[in-house]
Amino acid sequence: MGILSALENVLVPSKRKQYTRVDLKEIFCKKAGDDFIRKFNTAVVGAEYSNPDGSDRQLPLQKLKPGERVRLIWDSGGADKKDVVYAVRKVKGDRLSMPDCFGRLNDKTAGDVIRWLNQENIVTAATVHKVTGGTRKRPKLGCVLELRTYPGPDPKK
């Protein structure tokens, strides 16, 4: 059966595994406190859909609590795609896995966050403001993040 599977993978294009290169960067912000530049709330979009690997975004949303820190992961997408900033549940250690992703920032907010980082040396930290939904009327969960911007590290150091 192994030889037949190998031949299928070579001869039948739909059976080939498709690999895509993903260029992810974490928007790392170690700062906290009241010395922020700007603070605002934004809703996470895409929480009702599945991740590209098929994992359910509702599962990490069920574990989120208000005030919990969230990782912002920037997918630059290359030249042919737009920039996306994923919201990922923070877990112990540096492990990053797609099942911890529960949505993304909307296009305008993601563009602002990336512009601040690249052009203005401003980093963004995210915390959970509130988890929405989970009712009979709105059974799917959603999330509102509180974003705070801080001056980035001094490039001269």
Per-residue pLDDT reduced to its tens digit, 11-24: 555 544 554 445 67
Query: How far, CA to CA in Å, does 71 sit from each of 1, 11, 13, 145, 149?
Result: 43, 41, 37, 11, 14
| Angle made by CA atoms 87, 117, 102, in degrees to the nearest 5 | 5
- Look at domain 20-151 and name its CATH class: alpha beta
Cβ neighbors of 98 (< 8 A, separation 6 or more) are 51, 52, 53, 55
Residue linked to tokens 């039948």:
12
Ranges of the chain with pLDDT below 70? 1-23, 78-80, 93-94, 154-157
**Tens of pLDDT along 34-66?**
888 999 999 999 999 998 888 999 999 999 999
Cβ neighbors of 152 (< 8 A, separation 6 or more) are 117, 121, 122, 123
Confidence (pLDDT) at 48: 92
pTM of the prediction? 0.77
Confidence (pLDDT) at 17: 52
Confidence (pLDDT) at 33: 75
- % helix / strand / coil in the chain, to the nearest 5? 20, 30, 45
Cβ(47)–Cβ(57) under 8 Å? yes
Confidence (pLDDT) at 51: 86
